[in-house]
Homo-oligomer: A and B are copies of this chain.
Amino acid sequence: MSQPRFDVLGLGNAIVDVIARCDEAFLASHDLAKGSMHLVSQDEAETLYGQMGPGMESSGGSAANTIAGIASLGGSAAFAGKVADDALGGVFAHDIRALGVHFDTAPLDSGAATGRCLVLVTPDGERTMNTFLGAAQELAPADIDTSVVADASMLYLEGYLWDPENAKQAFVAAAKAAQEAGRDVVLTLSDAFCVERYRDEFLDLIKQGTVDLVFANEHEVRSLYQTGDLATAMDHLGGQMREAVITRGAQGASIYKKGSRVDVPAAPVDQVVDLTGAGDLYAAGYLFARARGMSAPDCGKLGALCAAEVISHVGARPQADLKDLARQNGFAI
């Protein structure tokens, strides 16, 4: 087996974020659960957009953010996801390609517009996301280039892909191709409500050994095992998986590897401006370090560093050169 061309291939919903500040009352009056992701129709998205404050548009999408982070660290990365042939689709494609990421999923030429996520950021930095999937839900198995899957050390999948039926099939096809090529399959659970919707299927993926590494935050892992007790839930996931990472915000992260657990603290942040992308960029740092064969604590440390960068400004993509940042923090990359 030759050296794979890509460190990571990401598969996810191709989305442009529209980020705006709001107060707690706005969330309450729109019946939005803070910190979670809601799916909305195009009409609902337009209504909410009309009511929210001025925004800033930035390419997003969970797995796409992770891939952008890996590229910024100097990793070799690819992404598959569906945009439309419209202005926002052009923005998404430009932004990911400008980082050197291999992205050649054909845009949807008619029908839905490029997906967008209305991200509402409260004064505490927490983000509440309202996603109109649009073209993203048309991602289909035919969009999976199995030669690219086979040519990536890791396949990174977001749990959000379970929402659009076509994309779920693409997820399954890609995971199968990765397994056949002997590549690692990585899953992020994405969101506690997403876990609510697809708990049994996610548990099946874990039990059947389809995934080699799972990322989850505290809410997601508790939702997965339907328990309020974090330690129980974490140990459960750590026991079922050969490798699992539970990110815990300011408390750092717990990494389970072959049954043993190591805790890695969060990296310091002067001011938390916007939590959007924190989990995505944690995964970027972790996966890049993992691809370079670093130890679990170093994978966790680089993940924490990348997460700290992205929460110090508005937007889910890194603004600093992450390779420079890593080097300044002692990583010889």
Interface residues of A (CB under 8 A from B): 20-21, 49-50, 52-59, 68, 86-88, 91, 94-96, 98-99, 270, 273, 313-315, 317, 319, 321
Cβ–Cβ < 8 Å partners of A273 in chain B: 313
Cβ–Cβ < 8 Å partners of A87 in chain B: 86-88
CB proximity of A20 to chain B, nearest CB, Å: 8
**A54 is contacted by which of B55, B94, B314 (Cβ under 8 Å)?**
B94
Most interface-central of A21, A52, A56, A58 (chain B CB within 10 A): A56
The answer on a CB contact under 8 Å between A95 and B313 is no
The answer on a CB contact under 8 Å between B54 and A57 is no
Q: How many copies does the complex hold?
A: 2
Task: Determine the distance from Cα of A53 to Cα of B318 in the docked complex, in whole angstroms.
Answer: 12
Task: Determine the distance from Cα of A94 to Cα of B319 in the docked complex, in whole angstroms.
Answer: 25
CB proximity of A185 to chain B, nearest CB, Å: 27
Cβ–Cβ < 8 Å partners of A58 in chain B: 56-57
Given contacts A314-B313, A314-B319, A319-B314, is CB(A55)–CB(B21) below 8 Å? no
Task: Determine the distance from Cα of A321 to Cα of B52 in the docked complex, in whole angstroms.
Answer: 14
Cβ–Cβ < 8 Å partners of A20 in chain B: 98
Task: Determine the distance from Cα of A57 to Cα of B114 in the docked complex, in whole angstroms.
Answer: 15
The answer on a CB contact under 8 Å between A54 and B99 is yes
CB proximity of A172 to chain B, nearest CB, Å: 30
Residue of chain B at shortest CB distance from A57: B57
The answer on a CB contact under 8 Å between A91 and B314 is no
CB proximity of A195 to chain B, nearest CB, Å: 30
CB proximity of A107 to chain B, nearest CB, Å: 15
Cβ–Cβ < 8 Å partners of A99 in chain B: 53-54
CB proximity of A115 to chain B, nearest CB, Å: 13
Residue of chain B at shortest CB distance from A94: B49
Cβ–Cβ < 8 Å partners of A317 in chain B: 54
Given contacts A87-B88, A88-B87, is CB(A56)–CB(B94) below 8 Å? no
